[in-house]
């Protein structure tokens, strides 16, 4: 976890923002200070000169979305022009759609809830009666955080549906990004996106491990005021659909030791679609999966300052086409895998099991290994590439993790099939035993990746290829290792480029895209 050191100036401007509550008291500007002087209301100007608009002109007003009205908060100016600021309500109480409107930015001024927690079961048997809401965000819409403690929470029973497109993603970012103040190392400027569901978790907020996926076992979002709950006994639960999404500069600290990620999932079920997502410069993890039954594909993590992928709390996670690229010297592991956290017995159920197919981990960060497994978690990795220029590839911590246990819900020893390992330090003899037990693994692999991500001749011609459909029908049949095949580059069009990795999309992570005004 990263530590936060900021100088916070507390307060609000009645001209620019809604009244401050406990969730809105910290907002980092360029130097960690609150920065509201460059939001213009009614033609006024702030305390600093505003750039001359170069492209975007503000919409005349905010769209009408229903009973949960958007607040017209004036305009904000940045390198791409001047935008109308439409501030989201603190709670969406009915179904709503945020449309793409030229010249409009949507703002979060603190925590924003989608619905009210409807409990661990879909019926009324749990005695919890919440409000279920479906929030849809159209392709091209941009949402920014007006305060550091801003984050979006899809409560249990509600859904978040992000309808980005390959040439027009949805973007969640920070105010500093809007104003053009960021650089390649900027991070920790707002919270992130949180999806909560009713799928099983192994850790219970009561402190009692979950022995059999019971409904009573629920967990809470760490660090949040009035923390929302997640978990239940519905593995196929749906928290919505996310497609073609960028999440930039997230990871604000909610409480000591409790940072949000770009994307946090808690008890999310397999009925949820998570596809084509890019995390950029999260100060914590790119994505952390707390329990649930999660399927993801085409997921990119660039510049995370802790782990790129962090999976724990009894999660069953199937992930295909996963790309992690760390900044040199920044970040811990490309993958950290745990079962219940350290406060619970290692035999708490369900046991974490992550299965990765077609992954590329360019682990240039400061961690001593690219992949770390502990807490009796189970791991399966096939058809991938691990590059660690300054450490070893895999660490397995603890006898209970190293060997298959005779307890329930056990997948056996860590498993590797058709993986190329290119690391500067040798793995332990124990880990080498797992690698040698698999088929098609290459310990002295030399990658031919272009730009640290795009397959070259070695990845394209690698043999043998593991038949990933033997693991799950979720996985797609492939004839290559690595995340991004040459000739079918799925990163094009919807990602943003940076000094860490350039996808050739023509869209900088330090700027906002400007689409046609029609």
The pLDDT value given to residue 217: 86
CA pseudo-torsion sign 172, 174, 178, 182? negative
Q: How many helices (H) and strands (E) does the chain have?
A: 4, 30
pLDDT of 138 over the 60 cut: yes
Cα separation, 315 vs 202, in Å, equals 8
Least confident of 60-74, 84-98, 122-136, 264-278: 122-136
- pLDDT grade for 367, boundaries at 50, 70 and 90: confident
Inter-residue contact 248 to 177 (CB < 8 Å):
yes
Cα separation, 440 vs 235, in Å, equals 33
Average pLDDT (115-138) is 94
The pLDDT value given to residue 49: 44
Average pLDDT (154-183) is 98
Q: What is the DSSP string of 336-394?
A: EE-SS-TTS-TT-SSPPEEEEEEEEEE--SSSSEEEEE-TT-EEEEEEEEEEETTSEEE
Residue 1 or residue 250, greater confidence = 250
The pLDDT value given to residue 516: 75
Inter-residue contact 334 to 31 (CB < 8 Å):
no
Q: What percent of the chain has pLDDT over 90?
A: 72
- Other Cβ atoms closer than 10 A to 64: 8
Average pLDDT (30-48) is 38
The pLDDT value given to residue 216: 82
The pLDDT value given to residue 57: 96
Which runs of E-coded beta strand occur in 209-249? Answer: 219-220, 229-230, 240-248
Average pLDDT (449-468) is 98
CA pseudo-torsion sign 89, 254, 313, 242? positive
Average pLDDT (253-273) is 91
The pLDDT value given to residue 404: 53
Q: What is the DSSP string of 209-227?
A: --SS--TT--EE-TT-SSP
Of the candidates 192, 191, 213, 194, the one whose C-alpha atom is nearest the C-alpha of residue 203 is 213
Summarize pLDDT for 309-330 with one digit per residue, the tens.
999 999 999 999 999 999 988 9
Q: What percent of the chain has pLDDT over 70?
A: 84
Residue written as tokens 């950029």? 280
Residue 508 or residue 342, greater confidence = 508
pLDDT of 177 over the 90 cut: yes
The pLDDT value given to residue 303: 97
pLDDT of 53 over the 60 cut: no
- pLDDT grade for 19, boundaries at 50, 70 and 90: very low
- pLDDT grade for 398, boundaries at 50, 70 and 90: low
Q: Residue 436: which residues within 8 A CB-CB, separation 6 or more?
A: none
- pLDDT grade for 22, boundaries at 50, 70 and 90: very low
The pLDDT value given to residue 114: 99
Q: What count of residues does the chain have?
A: 518
- pLDDT grade for 376, boundaries at 50, 70 and 90: confident
Q: 100: which 2 tokens?
A: 């793409």
The pLDDT value given to residue 428: 85
Q: List the Cα angle 442/448/449 in 5-degree steps.
A: 110
The pLDDT value given to residue 7: 32
pLDDT of 10 over the 50 cut: no
Residue 408 or residue 302, greater confidence = 302
Average pLDDT (480-498) is 97
Rg from Cα positions in the chain: 22
- pLDDT grade for 13, boundaries at 50, 70 and 90: very low
**Coil/strand/helix, residue 319:** strand
Which runs of E-coded beta strand occur in 399-452? Answer: 415-423
The pLDDT value given to residue 232: 92
The pLDDT value given to residue 11: 35
The pLDDT value given to residue 224: 84
Q: 317: which 2 tokens?
A: 């996670």
Q: 388: which 2 tokens?
A: 């660690």
Q: How would you classify the pairing of strands 258-259 and 253-255? A: antiparallel
Cα separation, 384 vs 148, in Å, equals 36
The pLDDT value given to residue 247: 99
- pLDDT grade for 400, boundaries at 50, 70 and 90: low
What's the chain's average pLDDT? Answer: 87
Q: What is the DSSP string of 458-489?
A: HHHT-SPPP-GGGT-TTSPP-SS-SSB-TT--
Of the candidates 374, 285, 372, 292, the one whose C-alpha atom is nearest the C-alpha of residue 338 is 374
Least confident of 283-292, 328-337, 342-351, 388-397: 342-351
Most trustworthy range by pLDDT among 3-12, 338-347, 463-472 = 463-472
Q: 319: which 2 tokens?
A: 């992930």
Q: 409: which 2 tokens?
A: 């819900």
Least confident of 157-171, 181-195, 334-348: 334-348
Inter-residue contact 439 to 466 (CB < 8 Å):
yes
pLDDT of 222 over the 90 cut: no
Cis omega before residue 350 (within 30°)? yes
Domain over 71-470 is classified CATH 2.160.20? yes
Residue 82 or residue 202, greater confidence = 82
The pLDDT value given to residue 517: 58
Least confident of 165-179, 197-211, 338-352, 399-413: 399-413
């Amino acid at each position: 976890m990263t530590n936060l050191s900021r100088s916070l100036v507390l307060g609000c401007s009645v001209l620019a923002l809604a009244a401050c509550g406990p969730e809105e008291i910290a907002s980092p500007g360029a130097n960690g200070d609150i920065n509201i002087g460059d939001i213009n209301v009614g033609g006024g100007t702030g305390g600093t000169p505003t750039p001359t608009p170069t492209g975007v002109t503000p919409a005349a007003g905010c769209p009408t979305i229903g009973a949960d009205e958007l607040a017209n908060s004036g305009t904000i100016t940045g390198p791409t022009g001047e935008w109308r600021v439409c501030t989201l309500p603190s709670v969406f109480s009915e179904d709503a759609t945020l449309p793409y409107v030229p010249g409009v930015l949507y703002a979060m001024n603190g925590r924003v809830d989608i619905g009210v927690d409807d409990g661990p079961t879909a019926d009324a048997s749990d005695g919890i009666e919440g409000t279920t809401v479906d929030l849809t965000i159209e392709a091209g819409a941009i949402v920014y955080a007006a305060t550091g403690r801003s984050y979006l929470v899809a409560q249990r029973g509600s859904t978040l549906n992000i309808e980005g497109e390959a040439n027009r993603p949805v973007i969640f970012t920070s105010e500093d990004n809007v104003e053009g103040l960021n650089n390649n190392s900027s991070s920790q400027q707002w919270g992130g996106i949180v999806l909560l569901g009713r799928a099983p978790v192994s850790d219970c907020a009561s402190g009692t491990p979950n022995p059999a996926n019971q409904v009573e076992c629920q967990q809470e979002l760490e660090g949040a005021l009035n923390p929302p709950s997640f978990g239940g006994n519905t593995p196929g639960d749906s928290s919505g659909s996310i497609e073609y999404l960028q999440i930039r500069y997230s990871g604000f600290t909610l409480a000591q030791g409790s940072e949000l990620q770009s994307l946090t999932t808690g008890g999310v079920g397999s009925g949820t679609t998570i596809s084509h997502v890019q995390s950029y410069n999260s100060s914590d993890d790119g994505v952390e999966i707390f329990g649930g039954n999660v399927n993801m594909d085409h997921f990119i993590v660039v510049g995370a300052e802790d782990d790129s992928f962090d999976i724990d709390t009894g999660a069953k996670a199937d992930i295909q086409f996963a790309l992690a690229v760390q900044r040199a010297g920044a970040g811990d592991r490309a993958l950290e895998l745990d079962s219940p956290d350290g406060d619970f017995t290692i035999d708490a159920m369900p046991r974490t099991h992550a299965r990765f197919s077609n992954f590329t981990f360019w682990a240039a960060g400061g961690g001593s290994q690219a992949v770390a497994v502990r807490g009796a978690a189970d791991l399966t990795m096939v058809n991938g590439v691990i590059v660690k220029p300054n450490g070893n590839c895999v660490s397995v911590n603890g006898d209970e993790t190293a060997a298959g246990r005779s307890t329930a819900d056990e997948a056996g020893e860590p498993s590797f099939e058709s993986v190329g390992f290119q690391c500067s330090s040798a793995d332990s003899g124990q880990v080498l035993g797992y690698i040698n037990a698999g088929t098609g693994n290459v310990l002295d692999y030399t990658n031919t990746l272009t730009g640290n991500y795009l397959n070259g001749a070695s990845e394209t011609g690698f043999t043998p290829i593991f038949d990933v459909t033997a693991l799950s029908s979720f996985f797609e049949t492939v004839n290559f290792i690595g995340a991004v095949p040459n000739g079918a580059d799925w990163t094009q069009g919807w990602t943003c480029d940076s000094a860490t990795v350039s996808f050739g999309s023509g869209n900088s992570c330090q700027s906002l895209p400007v689409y046609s005004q029609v």
